[in-house]
């Protein structure tokens, strides 16, 4: 039986605790040394191999060849001369250019050595693209021993049609599924023993954009476009939640809708667009369930939020620059954010690697360090 426990945040506004210590705090012009700018102004997505020192960068060039790889040093820095423009893995024969697209997302199955690519068609009429073409918007690519793309395994598309708009994809080793978020549909494709989909048919549950699975609790933590938080426990072989708990955002929305969960500190960190309350921290119990109402903190304008629980820092990337917020031993913020102004143009993506502490940033004005 599904357990429904809803915390109606809109009714508990007066109970919210806010620490508005000044969103800029201490300001400096020096970008932190751990920030790595992807030196490609057309980069629109960035991901790292979970184990190997390889960075995958998706491009938005207006063409059809949009995957670049970099090898990384031991400290996570880019090896500049290792840049390689990869093949057009959406081409039916490997030679004929495929449809014009931006490579929106990249996901990796390290165990089966598969790279999943998600392309977003660049066309004046996306309805036509999704309903009246044979474009295959997903590709599975084999990886070699060094984590480099080797050959196309399969091109595929889902049964989702219409003007949806791709938001995110992710592979989680705890499930034999490729998770996909469209603008109004969160869904997944079941994968076979070879890591490839047997059917374009999807299963879906709601409109979620960003999520994190916490294996210790066997729970998913989702955010909606309105920054609302939902906690679901899904069976490994089904779509009906065994547990569902939700906390609705008071107001505002966050297009990034980032969420980071720390099982150690029993907290969920969610970004919002509510002025002076851009960070909501939800307290969780020992089983990963919501308890009480969130505390809110000022971060300033935030497009992407990334948490490094190894270094105990929150990174907030906004249009005017980068803010870092230190976390105490209990997981709660300490002091005001430190502000680093950056003119990086349009922010496309950011990836944090806790193993090296590097924050990889894809933007239209990549800075040199």
Angstrom distance (rounded) from CA 71 to CA 53: 6
**Residue at token pair 């990384």:** 72
Alpha-carbon Rg for the chain in angstroms: 20
Other Cβ atoms within 10 Å of 94 Cβ, number: 11
Q: Residue 361: phi, psi to the nearest 5?
A: -120, 130
Q: Any idea which of 29-43, 112-126, 142-156 has the lowest mean pLDDT?
A: 112-126
* Model pLDDT for residues 254-272, shown as the tens digit of each residue: 555 689 999 999 999 999 8
Q: What is the pLDDT of residues 169-195, one digit of tens each?
A: 999 999 999 999 988 888 999 999 999
Tell me what pLDDT residue 241 has.
74
Q: Does residue 18 have a pLDDT over 50?
A: no
The reported pLDDT for the residue numbered 15 is 32
State the Cα–Cα distance between residues 119 and 106, nearest whole angstrom. 9
Residue 203, pLDDT score: 84
pLDDT computed for residue 272 by the predictor? 85
d(CA 195, CA 198): 9
The percentage of the chain sitting over the pLDDT mark of 70, rounded to a whole number, equals 84
Residue 49 DSSP class: -
On the question of pLDDT at 109 being above 60, the answer is: yes
Mean per-residue pLDDT, 303-318: 96
Token pair in block for residue 344: 């990086």
Instruction: Decide if 290 contacts 247 (C-beta within 8 A).
Output: yes
Phi then psi dihedrals of residue 339, to 5 deg: -110, 130
For the chain, how far is it from start to end, CA to CA, in angstroms? 55
* Count of residues making up the chain: 369
CA distance 100 to 88: 11
DSSP secondary structure code for residue 130 in this structure: H
pLDDT surpasses 90 at 60: yes
* pLDDT over threshold 70, residue 127: no
pLDDT given at position 246: 82
d(CA 32, CA 43): 21
CB atoms within 10 A of CB 142: 16
Q: What is the pLDDT of residues 200-255, one digit of tens each?
A: 888 888 788 889 999 999 999 998 776 678 899 877 666 677 788 888 765 555 55
Tens digit of pLDDT for each residue in 133-168?
A: 677 889 999 999 999 999 999 999 898 866 677 888
* Segment among 65-69, 184-188, 283-287 with least mean pLDDT: 184-188
Q: What percent of the chain has pLDDT over 90?
A: 59
Do 24 and 337 form a contact (C-beta atoms < 8 A)? yes
Domains, the chain, with CATH or none = 1-30+208-345 (2.130.10.10), 32-184 (2.130.10.10)
Average pLDDT, the chain: 85
Residue 28 dihedral angles phi and psi, to the nearest 5°: -145, 150
């Amino acid at each position: 039986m599904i357990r429904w426990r809803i915390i109606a945040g809109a009714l508990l506004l007066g109970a919210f605790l806010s620490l508005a210590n000044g969103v800029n705090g201490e300001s400096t012009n020096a970008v932190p040394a751990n920030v790595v700018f992807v030196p490609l102004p057309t980069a629109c997505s960035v991901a790292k191999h979970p184990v190997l020192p390889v960075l995958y960068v998706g491009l938005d060039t207006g063409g059809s060849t949009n995957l670049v790889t970099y090898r990384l040093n031991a400290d996570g820095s880019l090896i500049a001369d290792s840049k390689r423009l990869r093949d057009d893995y959406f081409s039916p024969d490997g030679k004929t250019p495929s449809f014009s697209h931006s490579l929106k997302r990249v996901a990796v199955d390290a165990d089966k050595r598969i790279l999943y690519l998600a392309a977003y068609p660049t066309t004046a009429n996306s309805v036509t693209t999704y309903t009246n073409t044979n474009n295959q918007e997903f590709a599975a690519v084999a990886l070699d021993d060094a984590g480099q793309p080797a050959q196309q395994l399969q091109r595929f598309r889902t049964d989702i049609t219409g003007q949806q708009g791709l938001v995110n994809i992710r592979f989680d080793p705890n499930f034999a599924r490729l998770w996909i978020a469209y603008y109004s549909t969160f869904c997944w494709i079941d994968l076979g023993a070879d890591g490839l989909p047997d059917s374009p048919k999807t299963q879906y549950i709601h409109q979620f954009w960003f999520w994190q699975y916490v294996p210790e609790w066997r729970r998913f933590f989702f955010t909606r476009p309105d920054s609302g938080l939902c906690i679901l426990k899904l069976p490994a072989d089904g779509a009906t939640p065994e547990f569902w708990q939700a906390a609705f955002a008071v107001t505002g929305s966050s297009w990034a809708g980032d969420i980071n969960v720390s099982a150690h500190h029993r907290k969920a960190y969610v970004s919002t667009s509510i002025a002076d309350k851009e960070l909501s921290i939800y307290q969780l119990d020992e089983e990963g369930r919501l308890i009480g109402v969130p505390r809110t903190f000022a971060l300033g304008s935030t497009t992407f939020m990334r948490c490094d629980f190894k270094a105990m820092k929150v990174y907030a990337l906004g249009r005017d620059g980068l803010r870092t917020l230190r976390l105490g031993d209990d997981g709660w913020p300490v002091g005001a954010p430190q502000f680093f102004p950056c003119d990086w143009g349009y922010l496309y993506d950011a990836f944090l690697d806790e193993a090296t502490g590097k924050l990889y940033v894809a933007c239209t004005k990549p800075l040199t360090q």
